[in-house]
Structure 1
Amino acid sequence: MHLRDALLASLANLPGSREFHLHVLVSSPRKHSNLYPFASQPRLRTYLQDILILLSEQASPDARRLFVSAIEASVYHIPSTSSAIVYVSKVDSTGQATTPSPTSTLARAFLSYYANPSTRPLPVDHLWVHLFARAQNQYLFPNSAEFPGKKPLTDVKLCAWWKRQLTGVAEELELNAKANATGTVSTRLYYLLPGLGELEASHSLENAYASSSSSSVTWIYGHPYSQTDVPLPGVSNRNTGSAAPHIGQIIPWFDDDPKARFIDDIAYTTEVDGVKSPERKRPRIIERSGSRVVDEEMQDKPKVVDKKDVHSQKEEQTTKVLRKVSVSEFWERMSFRQECISGAVTGFFVMAVSSNFPQATTRSEPSPLAPQPGQVAPQLIKRVLSSLMTGHEFPSVERAAWSTKVLEESIRGLCDGLKTLPVAIASGNVAGSGRTTPEPTLTCATTPQTPPPRLIRLKHPIVDASPNPFPEPMTSLETYNAYIHGSLIVNNPWLPRKTPVEGGDDGKVKVTVLTVRRKKRAKP
């Protein structure tokens, strides 16, 4: 089952009557060496895929189609350790969906697709899910926070929401493991709210969503980088040697991630008191007929330094600095980072899934770089994402309907071989709004982005010298209809309305007013 079909199947059970239109863009694998930029030689070969999921909804056949949910994620494949990492970078909604919103169902189905060994498209034994929960009004839909119907989650509720999604995925894996007797599946779940203790974090998330149902899933408050139950994806026997791995070898480096920024700061801090100036060199003294003469030319002449030696010294210095910071100290100091002390609660969530299926070892697997059916070129996803973030807005139903129509037509046109996006994207002309004057391109506030690692200091700059032997996939309308776009008509009963526990004849809740009894004063 492909990702599009799995997501559509999960949406079929949503209550109500509506029609969904789903666009799933998965890029072909490409070489990526920045997942562990500070790892020692030889570095692990990693392959990266970009994923963009856009879901639109149509409340009735006559209603306009509106974008309601979106997911942006990355998948890292490390064949040498039989591991893969799914990093969920952004999940957003417009607030214009029919209640209940499909965002939770879509996010949980996406994670289950990669966590479940029976549907996972990668031949790996260990899968890791990483995400950083940080509450914001909007992520992927510009100006959607201005829509009155959108209710962004607060910081604590967002962390509790992600914990519920991962708990649901783990419960589903347990049920599938019991039904499937050919292999074993074990899960480990970790979460950490910087600045909060275990008891305080647990009570905060439990109070955010009161639930009467109990779960058998066990959560560990802390980080997963000291456990030995599930092998870490960036550590193998060939690249660790006799020394224990440092934080640069076990903590992955993601874009727009506080962990990546903190690792960079640690790696490039060579002196405790700041940058140290180089020592002044002594001039060269030459003896001529009994007199000592200072060689000014040699003093001014720059010394030829081997670049390999310089890179080697800087890499050794970087490794020494990283080894000075233990994993526990790293997370303790993370509580004092700007992203974690800005007044809002943030959370790091990790789920590790380890599976063992004997039949997986007997089948022959294709090359990790070989594009699979339905995958698109990475540049196509970048163009669609750039158009979504800079050329559209969702503050009202009218603007959202126009943006949905133009962007969906753009995806179809790009898959059909168009080299440029439709002119309507740049014109800003909304159908039915009476506007004819072209508008400037809309922009939105961007979140802080993690700068690329400063690889010039490393001994071996991370460069993918060998070209990709496989050409980029060519999309067509057949690919678009078979793998990218899909629709689903849902016609289920609506959820029953919540009735008050105790009510009167008018259906209103009875309110009991308690009166305060005054204590009588004793007579003198």
Structure 2
Amino acid sequence: MIDRSGSLLATVRTALDASPPAVAEPGTLRLHTLFSIPRQVKSLFPLAHIHPTDLEYNKKAASIGALEEQIFVTASWVPLAKDDVEGAVEATKAGEGGETRPSKETARDRSAPLLILAMELYLYTIPELGSAVLYVSKLDSSGYGPKTIPTPLREALSRQVFADKDTKFGNTLTATLSSAVTQHFTSFKHWDATSQSSSSVQVSHLSVHILARSQRAYLFPSSPENKDKKVLSDGGLIKWWRAVMSDVVVSSRDETSAVRKTAKSKGGAIDARAFYVIPGYSKMESHPLVPLVREADSSSTASQAGQVLKQAKWNYGHPYSSGGASCPESDLPPLPLHWQSSSFVLSNSDTEKDKVPTNPDASDYDPRRVRTVPTLMPHFSDDPKTRFLDEMARDAHEHSGWKKKVANGTSEPKAPGVTNEEKENGIESELDVSSFKGEAISNGTKRPAEDSTDDSQSEKKVKTDIPTTSSSSGVPLVTLRAQMRERQSMDDLPIDEFWERMAFRQECCSGNAVGVLVILFTRLPPSSSASSGTTVERQPLSLPYKVLGDLVFKSLMKDSCEWNKVTLARQLTESWFQGVDREVRRKGGLAQWKQEVGREEDELATLVGRGTIWADFVLNGPTKEQLDKSKKEAETKQNGNSTGTTAPGGGANMLSVKRKKKPAA
């Protein structure tokens, strides 16, 4: 039988029960959580293993491999009448018990479900280092979600809606779901749920990366034309993500939080450090756009959201250097390739921190341990930082090539890492980077255009004479040399200067403010006797990477998908449900899943995977009468307070503006 207590759906259910979202009407939430089958990639830190000057080292060095999983979460909504809530709850519980009968349909006959939220994430697990990287790629809403209870009314309505007086309405539905999905990984439940297998990876560090860039639509084309969709401004989106991740940070630190109490983990403290930066804005310049956290606020006067924001202890800057993190060198933030030497881990172990050699000529130089751009900045798809790194790699080949100093002070072209055998064969004098680009260089200057025929002959000679053998890792030597040049160029760029130059990128200087959030979660690693595995278990009913990507594009993101029209949106929602069901039956390992769950589920009319990849959640909300009554009471209270401040005689007790007298002529 499959243990579902550590699944993403179980984490979301725990979060919804602990802090019900503040929806202004009751309804049924259907959540889909789809995973792709883990696949091996080497693009997360492509140059971290490359020695900038030693070709022999690079021939034997292995690139840093990561196991990539794409995660796609969708939520749909069906409003319910208050009388139908109890019946829907009972039907949902009956379906989770293993029965395949559908839930009560009296309320659902009134309206079909509508997709209200979609979220795309990429998870990279690095087995070799026991770390992981979570990239929140896209988050979008369609505008068809339930309205939210105003913040001043939530406490009063909680007493009316919930029988349990300790249960209170929490955040908005979008914020609650985004926080719950992220916290599933920051609490390390994703890896601990399958840690019984000896080959499973044991992860002790997770870096969460979010790019807060306001766009009208990410996953629902034409949805901005829906008048109910609210598109946040640049500053509003950064503030929103900072508030959501503040809740994740505080909950992950607290071992008594609802999610961590239900986690099948080893327990212990989790160190969480949160950073955000807006490229192009200094700390004080960012304040009008995204207000800084007021440390002087007292807990009695600050709101609950303000208290959580304060407890998260945000740092304005980036975690990649002591200057960016505003900390001493001995307290550098933990990162995927460097977390084992962080102060949090070292202070709780007997291991001493070794000094990292930064001179490439040193015999014990390890390119992966040096804190430079290639070892600090992960590569993601559709990310401005990655595009900048790719341009830097291309620019490394635009200069005059590698040069070595000679006795008379001049320099001559030299390819990186040329071996003695190649020198003896005369290859050194014929090989330089210009031969890769179709340019010949002589004494640091380009040849005239009329020598193009000689260039082509030289190119042919180089291709003929260069050995076609590869390194022990299977990478051609020409490719290794190109990577060495890219690594050397990036090592020469200080990480703080990288962020200064990011401010001049088109994405950050075209009138838009872009927020970069990096949150680091670290727990103590297991004892040295415990061996870490090398594989990530496949999630039940997970799909191949390409199948999941094609399904998302065809069902949601095509230009023909018109999410601004309610009728078409209902059809697209149903098409999404059927498309997921069809692909899971074809490519999701359905036969093995049936065997593991211990029951047959052959009815074609039933969507497979209930409780595994999808589930229904009934959310309580106030009736229209309760909401209107609370609004009137709040207005009456507000009017009473304003009346109490009026001066005798009926006039408002307001201070007059003291006008400046004109100077005498």
Q: Give the TM-score band, short-chain normalised.
A: 0.7 to 0.9
Instruction: Give the counterpart letter for 2:384 in structure 1.
Output: P
1:310 aligns with one of 478, 487, 490: 478
Q: 1:49 pairs with 51, 60, 69, which one? A: 69
d(CA) in 1 for partners of 2:620 and 2:181?
22
- Paired position in structure 1 for 2:239: 160
What secondary structure does 2:291 align onto?
helix
1:279 aligns to 2:441 (yes or no): yes
- In 2, distance between residues paired with 1:321 and 1:130? 25
Query: Distance between the aligned counterparts of 2:638 and 2:548, measured in 1?
Result: 53
Alignment of 1:316-327 (within 5 A): 316-327=484-495
User: Which deviations, in whole Å up to 9, do the C-alpha atoms of 1:248-278 show, x marking residues without a partner?
Assistant: 2221000001111111111221367799741
Q: In the alignment, what sits opposite 2:9?
A: 4
Match of 1:414 in 2: 583
**Which among 38, 41, 54 is matched to residue 29 of structure 1?**
38
Match of 1:503 in 2: 639
**Aligned residue number for residue 252 of structure 1:** 378
Contact 1:374 1:482 in 2 (8 A): no
Q: 1:355-406: CA deviations, max 9, x gaps?
A: 1265x87777765154233433223311221121115221022221111111
1:223 is aligned with what amino acid? Answer: H
Partner of 1:224: 319
Aligned to 2:516: 348
Q: Distance in 2 between matches of 1:202 and 1:506?
A: 31
Amino acid at match of 2:492: K
Q: Does 1:192 align with 2:277?
A: yes
2:147 to 99, 104, 107: 99
CA distance, structure 2, for counterparts of residue 516 and residue 224 of structure 1 = 48
How far apart, in 2, do the equivalents of 1:267 and 1:473 lie? 46
* Deviation of the 1:154 alpha carbon: 0.3
CA distance in 1, matches of 2:579, 2:221: 18
How many angstroms does 1:126 deviate by?
Answer: 0.5
**Which residue is 1:488 aligned to?**
617
- Identical positions, percent: 26
How far apart, CA to CA, are the structure 2 residues paired with 1:271 and 1:380? 36
- Find the aligned partners of 2:440 and 2:177 in 1 and give their Cα distance: 56
Query: Could you tell me which amino acid in structure 2 is paired with residue 339 of structure 1?
Result: E
SS at 1:131 equivalent: strand
Shift of residue 129, structure 1, vs aligned partner = 0.3
Gap regions ≥5 residues in structure 1:
282-294, 420-470
Q: Distance in 1 between matches of 2:481 and 2:591?
A: 42
Structure 2: which amino acid aligns with 1:103? Answer: T
- CA distance in structure 1 between the partners assigned to 2:620 and 2:574 by the alignment: 24
**2-structure distance, mates of 1:273, 1:300:** 18
Unaligned runs of 5+ in 2: 1-5, 51-60, 81-106, 149-171, 193-200, 323-330, 341-355, 357-363, 402-433, 444-453, 469-475, 595-600, 603-607
Q: Which shifted more, 87-96 or 178-187? A: 178-187
Summarize the alignment of residues 109-508 of structure 1 with structure 2, pairs less than 5 Å apart. Answer: 109-118=180-189, 120-121=191-192, 123-176=202-255, 183-206=268-291, 212=303, 213-214=306-307, 215-226=310-321, 229-234=332-337, 240-241=366-367, 244-270=370-396, 277-279=439-441, 302-303=461-462, 304-306=464-466, 307=468, 308-356=476-524, 358=526, 367-387=534-554, 388-390=556-558, 391-417=560-586, 480-493=609-622, 496-497=630-631, 499-500=634-635, 502-503=638-639
Q: Which amino acid aligns with 1:503?
A: N
Paired positions, count = 458
- In 1, Cα distance between equivalents of 2:174 and 2:337: 31
Contact kept in structure 2, 1:371 and 1:473, CA below 8 Å? no
Q: Give 1:309 shift.
A: 4.7
1:89 aligns with 2:137: yes
RMSD: 4.0
Q: Deviations over 1:120-156 (max 9, x none)?
A: 5563010110011100011111111000000110000
Q: Distance in 2 between matches of 1:519 and 1:357?
A: 68
Q: Is the 8 A contact 1:57 1:66 kept in 2?
A: yes
- Check the 8 A contact 1:142/1:394 in 2, yes or no: yes
| Distance in 1 separating the partners of 2:663 and 2:40 | 87
2:293 and 2:142 mapped to 1: Cα distance?
22
Aligned-partner Cα distance in 2 for 1:267–1:352: 27
Match of 2:350 in 1: none
- Say whether the 8 Å CA contact 1:8–1:22 is kept in structure 2: no
Farther off after superposition, 44-53 or 401-410: 401-410
Aligned residue number for residue 461 of structure 1: none
Letter paired with 2:278? L
Higher strand share: 1
1:492 is displaced (CA, Å) by 4.0
Mapped to 2, the partners of 1:521 and 1:219 lie a distance apart of 49
CA distance in 2, matches of 1:382, 1:340: 28
Q: Which letter does structure 2 place at the counterpart of 1:10?
A: A
Query: Secondary structure of the residue that 2:184 maps to in structure 1?
Result: helix
CA deviation vs aligned residue, 1:464-487 (integer Å, no higher than 9, x gap) = xxxxxxx99977768622311100
Stretch deviating more after TM superposition (380-389 or 80-89): 380-389
Aligned to 2:26, the other structure's residue is in SS state: strand
Q: Is the 8 A contact 2:253 2:269 kept in 1?
A: no
Residue 219 (structure 1) shift: 1.3
User: For 2:293 and 2:369, how far apart are their aligned partners in 1?
Assistant: 43
Residue 329 of structure 1, CA deviation: 0.8
Retained in 2: the 8 A contact 1:144–1:150?
A: yes
Q: Using the alignment, how far apart are the partners of 1:148 and 1:119 within structure 2?
A: 38
1:14 is aligned to 21
